[in-house]
Chain A
């Protein structure tokens, strides 16, 4: 009898666990919140990133970037190489405030919204793509497909959100809510860019994709970002994410 009870309890636990991750009633909003929670889980992140630009002839160019993030809405990125871009730094703050530091001019420039949809330092990421953000704050999700491994969400921008994308299709892992693929559509509803996140690993208790790629389908150009080194919860302060530190 005890064995039967144990089996029953084990079965119930497994069923409940499965429902937790693949709950039929799990709403699109909750899934997207799950995405935000898992991608912004660390208190702060400090990463060294190797960027590879690949053109349609498979010619490659390399860049190196240091990126720091605190919470979900503060991010600072600084180029280490190539030499022509060394020292260029980008700061993303809450409420769509972004700054760019150009060492050649010794000036920090506030980025106007028209710049946000231009390429970030020659990569296939735009300034909008690079900003620190919570998807659930800016996008309305709709669950359009699910299977054992993936939820597929369609995201449309909330009213008053400025974006160049009319919608995004996001594929999210059911086991940990990590987004693995995001298809970006322009205002004409044409698929223009696809971001793929690979090598998703758990490090120091946090899920992270150590290898992600943005492909510009029209330009036939790709940008790969490989995380070389990452530190979580190292105690970055708010002062790090200011113009003062941007210029250092």
Chain B
């Protein structure tokens, strides 16, 4: 038997996780053999777990998970918001209207599962991450989140090789080949361009050769090469932000649309969803759709150009992210006068500006914490678990107080969401990595 250098805490976790979905009773010796534990240590822990009710005896000396283990199921998927002064929703005595009828947009892919048993590998493993780019704060925050998760799971990861394609799909193709040549157990990828067929074809070939591929944030056009895709609902971001804009304007007004990066799948899906909502409001005129590369400068340039063309500020500026929204808001502030209603969150500065200058806004942060979730999922794939084919990290609706509309209500108030003590370019949706010391994330190819 190989030497078991695990801690008792790790052994307890392994024992509790060794039962099947039906909690079928197991022979103790069988458990210890499977987990590679010595008899003295294994039986010592089993006895202690039995004594505390984590396990219970069944027939013929077999054991199964006990009553104490059932309590583990009582778990919040997200922490409830801390209690703060002021009600989260309007006082029902002052606002007796009931909520609008809920609309459940069910995506069946979210509950479709994949058995990854064929990718099972004994840890530690080698993971390659082919990143589309690190060109904006959101992408760096996503990388920060992924790096945080790597630190948590360091015992399971021998090496993580990271490349940066600088938004160039040809460069990404070369880098993917380099990663594969270095011998990786799983490829994690964020695609530089959804329309690049050679890259899609290469991923399909790698999948056929048995390499598990997980996409994060941006996926290839042909999703059949992927084991799973970790993202957030771009459709929800586009739809809810456009609905808020249309309702905030009372169903009438001129809107400019500032999208992110042309060719990037999140930008495309948010824009399509928003256009579809605007088309339901005959009084809303979409005057222009521009691309901004998800940069502050791109947002400012687009607004300057449109102001030059039309000579008149719009009633609303729909941005698919605050990355360019900041540039737009600043441009209008520079002109003096009222700033039109805006959409787009993500970056701390967008919240600071809108809260400080009282700009009406709605924000749905595209969660940078999906980086950590993608790495966790990659490890689940290499453990051979059953995993979802698509994971959508939840997206909160953030509104300043007083900006709720008939259909769009706040999950969080912007005044509480903004972080005054953090830098302007902080991405608030990166999870616990947000307050980690910022390390350097220069992409490197490990030897």
Co-assembled chains A and B: no
